[in-house]
Amino acid sequence: MDQAAFIKVIAPFKDKVFRLARRLLVSVEEAEDATQEVLVKLWNNRARLDSYNSVEALAMTMAKNYCLDRLKSKQASELRVVHNVYADREAGLQQQAEDRDSWEWAEKIMKQLPEQQRLIVQMRDIEQYEFEDIAKIMDMNETAVRVALSRARKTLREELLKTHNYGIKNN
Using only the alpha carbons of the chain, give its radius of gyration: 18
Confidence bin at 159 (pLDDT 50/70/90): confident
pLDDT of residue 151: 92
Rounded mean pLDDT of 133-151?
91
Task: Of 33, 74, 64, give the one whose Cα is nearest residue 129.
Answer: 64
For the ranges 113-127, 136-150, 153-167, the lowest mean pLDDT is seen at 153-167
Angle at 24 between CA 18 and CA 161, to 5 degrees: 115
Model pLDDT for residues 80-123, shown as the tens digit of each residue: 433 333 334 445 667 667 667 767 777 778 888 898 998 898 88
Model pLDDT for residues 25-60, shown as the tens digit of each residue: 867 888 898 999 999 999 999 889 889 888 998 999
For the ranges 51-60, 143-152, 156-165, the lowest mean pLDDT is seen at 156-165
| CB neighbourhood size of 3 (10 A) | 9
pLDDT of residue 36: 92
Domains of the chain: 1-82 (1.10.1740.10), 90-171 (1.10.10.10)
Distance CA 81, CA 86 (A): 16
Distance CA 77, CA 90 (A): 38
> pTM to 2 decimals?
0.53
Model pLDDT for residues 12-21, shown as the tens digit of each residue: 999 999 988 8
Q: What's the mean per-residue pLDDT of the chain?
A: 79
User: Is 82 strand, coil or helix?
Assistant: coil
Of 160 and 148, which is predicted with more confidence? 148
Task: Of 4, 9, 24, 8, give the one whose Cα is nearest residue 59.
Answer: 9
pLDDT of residue 29: 84
